[in-house]
Structure formats: C-alpha cells, structure tokens
Structure 1
C-alpha cells in the first residue's frame, strides 16, 4: 500500500509540473520558434516538462499503470484555472463543463486502454515503419492547421500523437534495458529508439507551443486525448495489447471518446479560450 501512496503522490506532482509548464508555454504562444531559445521562460517550461516526465516514470514504477495514467489527466483541470489566474479572470461555467466532460471521458479511456498492456517491444522493422507513419501523420496534421480558416487544434492533435508515439517507443527502450542491462544501450534498436524519442519529444513541445496561440483549454484537452489514443493504437496494432472488456469495453471506450470530444467542443466554444488580454507576449517576456 505504501508504494501505491508514493505512486499517487508522484503522479499528482507530475500533473502539477505539466500544468505549470502548459501555463508558461501559453504565455509564449505568440513568439516565433526562433525566439523561444532566447527566452528564459521557454527553458523554464522545458525544465518543468522534463521534471514532470521523470516524476511520471517514477510514479509508474511505484503504482499500477491504470491508476497512474488516470491521475495524469488531472493536468487539464489544473492548467485551465492556473492559466485563468495568470490572465486575472475567472474560469467560465462553459469551461468547467468542458473540463468535466473531457476529464470523465479521458479517465474512462485511460482505465480501458491503460490496464491492458503486455509490456511488448517493437522490432526494428516495426520501429522504422512506425516512425515513417508517425512522421507522415504529423506532417498531415500540421498541414491541416496551416490551411485557411483552419484550427490550431490540429497542431494540438499532432502534439498528442508525437507524445503518444514517444511513450510507446520509450517502452521498448525500458524493456530492452531491463532485460539486457546497460549492454543494450549500444544496440541499433535502442540507439534509433532513443533518437526517435528525443526528436518526437521536441516536436511535441513545439507543436504544443504553437497550438496555445488560440488559448490553453481546448488545445490541452485535444493533445491529452490524442496522446493515449495514439499509444493505444500502437499497442493494439504492434504490441499485442487489447482493450479491457472486449467488445463491451470497446463500446464503452467509444462512448468515453465521444464524451471527451464534447468536452473539447465546449472548451473551444468558450468565449475566454483564446481571449487573451491585449498585451504582447514578446513585450511582457523578459529579454
């Protein structure tokens, strides 16, 4: 029981760190990519994301996957009020409704797809195919976000796919290192997987940064949904995972996804989402 308590505590701290990073990133949403490296706040956000990832991994070592993953979605209800506070406004009723629907759908999805993992690993062929397909999906989603009158939620979806794929590839690295020890570090599979995780993580951070230009709530909800869904697809198609509960579980997962989608719609429709004060981010950020 003590290990579970430790896992819960670490998962909560991870959610706080992720939420804090999201709030900092939103403040820099209007900066060009070339200007991010020059801004100390970007490095603070990057450090917070790194700490959050380490805490999440530590939580998974101490507690059951289904519970820890479910607690991870608390990033959304934490980040939206924190962002509202930084802009000195109240969270609207519509936003709270969106948070509730999104959170309920996410918890259901995580419990259904997060507890059925088999701990499988990708083969070299599977890894290469996965990275090629993921690259194509990311390019397509980002392309959609740049079309006239398109929504930056496509960038948020791309960020979620990048992070979800990174998590799935990270599992292969972890299992290989656990089975073979440090000698596995220099194997081609682990080297390529490690490089892929680094690239996907950076891509996810930049795509997330771009998606926050229209506000925090809806993009964060979309990326949070896309992350476990992408990981679940990879697990089911390549690693032998199954959705808990068979066909009834699949039907329930679809219902949860619909609930989460409704929540995102409410967040996107909120008059406050994307309604930042008329203050230049670049002017307010330190040089």
Structure 2
C-alpha cells in the first residue's frame, strides 16, 4: 500500500512539473531558438521537464506501468485550468469539455492498450532504421507546421513522436548497459544511440515549444496522445512486445481514441474562439474630451 501511495504521489509531481514547464514554454512560443536560449526562465522549464522524466522513471519502481501510464494525463488536467488562472480568467466550457473527453480517452487507451513482455533492445539495423525514419517523419511534420497559416498541431505530433523515440532508444541503452556492463557505453552503436537521444530530446522540446504559440491546450493534448501511441507501435513492431487486448478491448480502444480526437477538436475550437474574440475597447481617458 505504501508503494502505491508513493507511485501516485510521484505521478502527481511529474504532472505538475510537466504542466508548469508547458506553461512557461507557451509564454515564449513566439520566439526563435536563438532568442529562447537567452531567456533564463526557459531553462527552468527545461529543468522541470528533466525533473519530470526522472520522477517518471522513479515511479516505475513503486507501481505498475498499467497505473503509471494512465496517470500521465494529469498533465493536461493541471495545465488547462492553470493556464486559465495565470491568464486571470475562467476556463471556458469548450476547454473543460475538451479536457474531460481527452482525459477519458487517453486514460482508457493507456489502460487498454498495454504492452507486455520482457524489456528488449533494438538490434543495430532496427536502431539505425528507426532513427532514419524518425528524422524523415519529424522533418516532414515540422515543415508542414512551418507553412503559412498551418496548424500548430503538426509540430505537436512531431514533438510527441520524437519524445517516444527517445524513450525507445533510452530503453535500448539502459537494458544493454544492464546486461553487458558499463563497457557497452563505448560501443559505436551505443554512442550513436545516445547522441540521437540528446538530439531528439532537443528537437522535441523545440517543436512542442513552437506548437504552443497559438494556445497550449490542444497541442499539449495531441503530444500526450501521440507519445504513448507511437511508443506502443515501436514496442510491438520492433521490441517484441504484444498488445494485451481482446476484440472487446480493441473496440473499447477505438471508442477511447474517438473520444480523445473529439476532445482535441474541442480544445482546438476553444483556442480558435479565443483568438477571434475582439479585445475590449479601452475606457476613454479623462483628459481627452469626448463628443456629447
């Protein structure tokens, strides 16, 4: 029981760290990369993301993945109302309903589509192929997001994909070192994997940062959906894992996916509505005469 309480507490801490980091990033999403590195508070966001990742790994020592993964949606639950509070306004009905549908869908997917089996590692051809494919996909998605008037969700998808590949590469490095010892870190393929992890982590951070420039909720929801979904695909396709589901569970998973999609659409609508609401006209100054 104590381990369960610790696992839940760690998950809440992870969600708070990620949510606060996302809020900080959203404030500066309009800046270029060169401008961002000169913003001290942005390094706080990067530190919070690192802290969240470390706490997430730690939480797996106290609770099963089937519990930890669904609690990841707490990031969205915390971030949406927190964004409204920092903007000194109430969360809109679209934001609330979008959050509810997205969280229910994501939690359902996380509980239904769980992978099982002994942790495996990527072979050298699989690792190289995965990195090359990820570079191509992330580049294409990133370029789609940079088109004039393009949806920022393209970059959110790219960021979620890059984060999930980081996880797969981290698993390969950790398991390899655990089985072969620290000497495995000097292998060329391991060095290549570690360089790729660092590169994808930076790219994912930049892409998610840019995806927040027109609003936080919808891109954050998309990233939270793409990350575990693509990680599951990688696990099944390359790491020898299997999806522990029946036909009934698969049907429920489809329903949950639709709920998540509807929730993201609601959050996107909330962002678009907020962007089109005209600002209130300023009150006339007392020293400026007005017409009778």
* Fold match by TM threshold 0.5: yes
The 2-side partners of 1:243 and 1:179 are apart by 25
Partners of 1:277 and 1:41 in 2: CA distance: 30
1:99 aligns with 2:103: no
Maintained 8 Å contact 1:243/1:249: no
For 1:200, the equivalent position in structure 2 comes to 200
| Aligned 8 A contact 1:65 1:115 in 2 | no
Counterpart residue number, 1:284: none
Given that residues 152 and 214 in structure 2 are in contact (C-alpha distance below 8 angstroms), is that contact kept between their aligned partners in structure 1? yes
What is the match of residue 87 of structure 2?
Answer: 87
**Alpha-carbon distance, 1:274 to partner:** 6.0
Could you list the runs of 5+ residues in structure 2 that have no partner in the other structure? Answer: 280-292
Large movers: runs of 4+ above 6 Å: none
* Distance in 1 separating the partners of 2:122 and 2:137: 19
Equivalent-residue separation in structure 2 for 1:173 and 1:113 (angstroms)? 24
> Where does residue 212 of structure 1 map in the other structure?
212
Deviation per CA, 1:76-95, whole angstroms, max 9, x where unpaired?
01011111111111111111
1:147, distance to aligned residue in structure 2 (A): 2.6
Deviations 1:162-186, CA, capped at 9 Å, x for gaps: 1111111111112112222322222
Deviates most, 19-28 or 250-259:
250-259
Q: Which residue of 2 aligns with 1:248?
A: 248
Deviation larger for 205-214 or 83-92: 83-92
Distance change >3 Å, CA 277–CA 47, structure 1 → 2: farther
TM-score (norm 2): 0.90
Aligned partners of 2:215 and 2:271 also within 8 Å: no
Q: Are 2:231 and 1:224 equivalent residues in the alignment?
A: no
Q: Is the 8 A contact 1:124 1:189 kept in 2?
A: yes
Aligned counterpart, 1:137? 137
Other-structure match for 2:45: 45
- Asked if 1:66 is matched to 2:66, the reply is yes
Name the residue aligned to 1:27: 27
Any idea what SS the aligned residue of 2:181 has? helix
Is the CA contact (8 Å cut-off) linking 1:21 and 1:49 kept in structure 2? yes
> How far apart, CA to CA, are the structure 2 residues paired with 1:9 and 1:137?
36
Identify unmatched segments of 5+ residues in structure 1. Answer: 279-287
Determine the C-alpha separation between the residues in 1 that align with 2:32 and 2:259. 34
Counterparts of 2:86 and 2:117 in 1: how far apart (Å)?
39
Cα distance in 2 between the residues matched to 1:241 and 1:92:
41
* Alpha-carbon distance in structure 2 between the residues aligned to 1:67 and 1:127: 29
Residues 121-144 of structure 1: CA deviation (Å, up to 9, x unaligned): 101110000000011110111122
Q: SS of the counterpart of 1:155?
A: helix
Greater CA drift, 173-182 or 61-70: 173-182
